[in-house]
Amino acid sequence: MIGRLITLEGIDGSGKSTALPHIARRIAERQPKRKIVLTAEPTSGEVGRILRKGLKEASGDEQASPAMRMNELFLFMADHAEHLDRIVLPSLKDGAMVLSDRYADSTAAYQGVTLQGILPHPVFWIQEVFRPWNAVPDMTLLFLLDPERALKRLGSRPGKEKFERLEFLISVEENFRTIALAEPERFVLIDAAQDEETVARDAARAVLDLLAR
Ligand code: TYD
């Protein structure tokens, strides 16, 4: 079996993390012999832990200096490199189906906002840095949801993180849409405003179609 890499992307509260186990279950039913690896960025590795600690600080990132923002970008990139080395590439070599909750597109979309005015065309700048050493996903499921609704969903969950603000998420959602428009062959758009079950079914169906190709 050849390895496959599927990534899930979308703003905070778009429901990707909820859909992930449902998608995995449906793939396992269809291909019981296939090894399935569930993973995420930020990872649970050393750099990922530093990042998560910073994200818990709900003080927002308005006060962050340009240097702090660049620092954060490079931490996400270092975490991604570690993710590739430790999990993604070995699993793909092993013929696994790798499902990642967030991946390099999150860095382009989120840090593409935090670095506005600091880097020229930050989304493209970040994508160019990734290009020579990234494993490109076979498919990216982009969960699209109105940021206001996404924030409402998050409202019921304790511990607000620093990126969970309306204007910020509106810009991130715009970046995701721009990125997806440029690569229609890789992206599948998921209407995340539907109920959980329907969202998971749509997402799983897209992945199963890819496997049947
Ligand atoms: P998230 O998957 O939402 O974590 P949680 O399990 O806590 O919901 O990711 C944490 C945050 O990190 C989220 O706001 C998106 C942000 N992020 C970036 O800003 N850049 C990146 O490269 C990645 C992977 C995540």
What is the CA(76)–ligand 1 centre distance, in A? Answer: 10
- Name the closest-CA residue to atom 1, ligand 1: 12
Report in angstroms the alpha-carbon separations of 182 from 133, 155, 185: 20, 32, 9
With beta carbons less than 8 A apart as the criterion, state whether 122 and 111 touch: yes
d(Cα 128, Cα 1) in Å, to the nearest integer?
Answer: 31
pTM for this predicted structure: 0.95
Question: For residue 57, what pLDDT is reported?
Answer: 73
Q: Are 24 and 99 in contact (CB under 8 A)?
A: yes
Instruction: Please name the residue whose Cα sits nearest to atom 3 of ligand 1.
Output: 12
Q: What's the Cα-to-Cα distance from 176 to each of 16, 26, 39, 64, 180, rounded to whole Å?
A: 14, 26, 20, 23, 6
Cα 90 to Cα 21: distance, rounded to the nearest angstrom: 21
Is residue 42 in contact with ligand 1, taking CB distance under 6 Å? Answer: yes
**pLDDT at res. 190:** 97
Ligand 1 contact via 55 beta carbon (within 6 Å): yes
pLDDT at 1: 82
- What residues of the chain score a pLDDT lower than 50? none
Q: What share of the chain is helix, strand, coil (3-state, %, to 5)?
A: 55, 15, 30
Closest atom of ligand 1 to 42 CA is 24
Q: Which atom of ligand 1 is nearest to the CA of 162?
A: 14
Give which of 163, 149, 77 is closest to 113, Cα–Cα. Answer: 163
Number of H helices, E strands in the chain: 10, 5
Specify the pLDDT at position 61. 64
